[in-house]
Chain A
């Protein structure tokens, strides 16, 4: 199996641990990812509030580049914001012929062609649907036995265009975490908003929304939360101290689902970027961290 890989801006910045763990896990499973050459910003929500048509053209450049780089190969997009924006562009040009024409004209000016054939997929979708839980179970060398995980999906991975899971109460990551041996908690807020960019723009609201999620996981006695989105991870990890200061003590580490996969597959903490957590998850993950040769080599590096 091979895919084109679209990282997006976050995975090169605050979400580096996500990129590190996605690449390590896919490599371990023998799935090839080739980074999209010279990719640009997806357009994201902020761009869409200023100029919608240009935001579709901006997203379309990536889709055109992907079709040129590897025809008939799906594109993996780990960031929920990018995943939504790129998917939305594919849908909008089908529903609105006049926008499709504008996007086409814009791409023509740059000598690019996009046939709307490239599929935009999330790694969770690929791992659960294409690869399957059995294969994942077989790759586990260190089951996450006894680890209590609150599965947090965030909003834009399941809404509104993706079709691989339920839009309010998804379960694919639950099954994946169970395949790793973890205990998955019932977490009713799994698709409730983390605050998005509000933590930076209207902090009193953004931090409150983040706190509600952290506190719910605490009340349910989870060891940590697992997420699929770099912005969710950033909000819940980086603003946790401020949120606790404002609303009450809460110490809830938040990690990417791919980091947990990596540990279960025998990779070291460093190989999956666990040292990048601000609220350390090592308290509950230490016992699953590889001390083998591969782990030691990575630590020495």
Chain B
């Protein structure tokens, strides 16, 4: 007997068809993985079950939860279900909590509302729940506010709220996407334990095939609002009967072809960082006192040879991005020097930096935020041309932009479009076009593919590899995703709490990590091969 049963569910918002004949079921104590790329309708399926759809939405079909017909239930009935029998965990722990209420109040709120318990009783249950999700009372009293917690701790609070009343069904919509791999592994473990303890059904929504494979008993693959394939996780993924399943699995494990590899030591280094340190002054605790300085980057030295591709991996908050900003001369190190092509970059004025800027470009993580929404592609991509010694004429500029667009697989017709007319993957191509237009020697890429869908990600990685081979551009890839590091880099640097704790050839470091930090990263990283192997073994 299924806990949640969805049959022939179709959903339209306005005139837009969102879901078409979706079938899905979750049994008590079962983990159902719902996988798909962005826009496939995963979140909308979840919101339909919660009946939290936007106003213009029309749903048809049958959604039954524990014998209740959700689509025809009254709002009062739904209010009684939500948070009591059905819990939900959202992606973004930063915005899913109310910043002006303590965590105790937020966990107790639902308990009081649904069980009519007194404040004291509710707080007692809230306390127990927070202990259960790994926030012990000594360090995390009920009176803590969300801003005093880290991202992973906040997500634990969100899970505590969702599970406080032992729901029969928990819907987790990309619960770990905003977290780094180590936190992700912890949160997934917690969810798995809660499922076995309470015989709760879990609908786990994710774009990450590896995560779902590790967690789910059965999986449903969604594309453009339609179910492509559904079934037992191990069998579905090993057989890969449906072409889309195959495509997704291959994209997740994609490794671009890179015949030439570069290792340090051969030529004169392109970039040298020596003892770079960056301190941020501590928060003012009173008028005359400050908290001690925070050392974001601590005595880091590294060098990159021309054409070499280097990964800088580490957990969030380890100082990766600060280091990248210093290398790009967007931030000044407190001490230490950074040399680019043998010339010191640190402490130079903007005018003297021009030649260095020409050979050093950047690609950011967020393809939505890294373009001025009010300018056209021609102007946006041409922005770095500004550092050339003589300004190109309008025709020359157009020509160069068209050339750069061509190199990243976009056409000359895209010149006069605005950034909002492109998809996420196309925008990341634009970002890359902007980075290579001056023919740089080094491109610093800060999580360049982590906001992209797997199939788009594979394409962008291919593009990076191709440009590296063709133009000899050296890369510094900043990432927390080890599959990216493995796919595209020659060397890897592992950063932990501001220090570089391990370095070496990518395959060696990732296969045989020596330092504790690297080991933690490698064991926590979801890996499709490994997850599938384990699933197969379990089934015998």
Question: A and B bound?
Answer: no
